[in-house]
Amino acid sequence: MPLLTDWVKKAIEPEPSSQQRNCRLPEAGERDEDELLAVRNLSVNVKSSSRPVIEGIDLTVGRGEIVGIVGESGCGKSVLSLSIMGLLPSALKLGGGELRLNGQSLHQASQRQIRSMRGKHMSMIFQDPMTSLNPTLTIGEQLTESLRLHLKLGGREARERAVLWLRRTGLPRPEAILSSYPHQLSGGMRQRVMIAIALCCEPELLIADEPTTALDVTIQAQILDVLFRIREEEQTSILFISHDLGVIAELCDRVAVMYAGQIVEQGTVEELFESPQHPYTIGLMKSIPKPEKKGMRLYAIPGTVPSLHDRGEGCRFQSRCAHAAAICLDAMPALEHRGGSHAVRCFLASGERREMDV
């Protein structure tokens, strides 16, 4: 996997472009002009038991910024993205906290208001392009659906715009693709179609939920390139969800690491990859395969994620952490700022533990 390590290296090495990146993490309560999406202390609960699936999520996405969310399966990445879109499955419901897009609360908005924002102001690309397109409709019908709905375009205009967007995502012969059905296209082509559908109404926010997971590595790189280019051209903000650190390092400006329903560390790509501070993040970094480690056993974080029912009072990572101490069992560390926009949820990193330990 040389590509992955290239990405990581590239991200670690300071690049000229990184100077332009928006590196601020606004304080709570502050409303920034450049801030597009603000998530404050958000929690999502299971309807039947009221147990939180994700809790205490604080996250902002600036205009034109790409923010990555990384974490293993079941850590709540997708739940977070679905809650922003208002598409939570029927077993889950929004708990406390605040969700704002462009300063407008999504929490208090009616179903109708949220519906009119979907597609137009915020859009989503799903993980599996094989199942996210309706097999009974042509690509053209699916692409023009939201153009007619949100931009009130007529048949011909919508078609022209659809062709334009298919071309922008790098699809050859877009006219022919418009009249084909999803099963006639390959996975990479379908994901490009999904991107075109999500972006054709020029939303300010694009949520990409593992858009490259189902694709092979070369197609992955092309899809990432499309996303990156569209950010440059349209100033679209992207919330990029992945479990692939290499992809995150390549694409994102800032990263949030999620573990068992919480953000455990966040900061700019540089901060996080140069000096990861949470033991979980450090473990993740160590488990990236590298060419110089060829023949050696790949590092794996011991143990498994505590299930929803086993989350104790203390730190969620405590049972798998090599540095866990008494306090980690009893109290939940807070997400604390560590200079710049770097924030870590760990007693060890905050220095607090050492004092209390003695």
Partner 1 sequence: MESKSTLTMRLGLAIIALLGTMAAVSLLYVPYDVNEMNIAGRLQSPGALHWFGTDNFGRDIFSRVMEASKTAFLVGAVAVTIGLVAGFIIGATAGYLGGWTDEVLMRMIDALLAFPGILLALILVTVFEPNLFQTMIAIGVLSVPNFARVIRSGFFQYKEAEFVVAARGLGASHATVILRHVMPHIVSPIIVAASLSFSTAILVEAALSYLGLGVQPPDPSWGRMLSESQSYIGKAPWFALAPGVFIALTVLGFNLLGDGLRDLRDKKT
Contacting positions for partner 1 (CB under 8 A): 85, 87, 89-90, 115-120, 123-124, 126, 128, 131-137, 142, 145-146, 149-150, 194, 197-198
Minimum CB separation of residue 76 from partner 1 in Å reads 17
Our CB check for partner 1 shows the closer of 134 and 179 to be 134
Our CB check for partner 1 shows the closer of 105 and 131 to be 131
CA atoms within 13 A on the CB side of 42: 28
Our CB check for partner 1 shows the closer of 17 and 110 to be 110
Residue type, 159: R
Residue 19: count of CB within 10 angstroms of its CB: 8
Minimum CB separation of residue 208 from partner 1 in Å reads 12
Q: In terms of DSSP bridges, do strands 205-209 and 122-125 run parallel, antiparallel, or are they unpaired?
A: parallel
Rounded Cα distance, 350 and 57, in Å: 19
Our CB check for partner 1 shows the closer of 126 and 273 to be 126
What separation, in Å, do the N-terminal and C-terminal C-alpha atoms of the chain show? 44
Q: In terms of DSSP bridges, do strands 237-242 and 254-259 run parallel, antiparallel, or are they unpaired?
A: unpaired
Minimum CB separation of residue 166 from partner 1 in Å reads 16
**How large is the greatest C-alpha to C-alpha distance in the chain, in angstroms?**
73
At 256, give phi and psi (nearest 5°). Answer: -120, 130
> Is the distance from CB of 127 to CB of 118 less than 8 angstroms?
no
Minimum CB separation of residue 48 from partner 1 in Å reads 12
Our CB check for partner 1 shows the closer of 91 and 356 to be 91
Minimum CB separation of residue 355 from partner 1 in Å reads 47
Our CB check for partner 1 shows the closer of 147 and 264 to be 147
Q: What is the CA radius of gyration of the chain?
A: 21
Minimum CB separation of residue 289 from partner 1 in Å reads 30
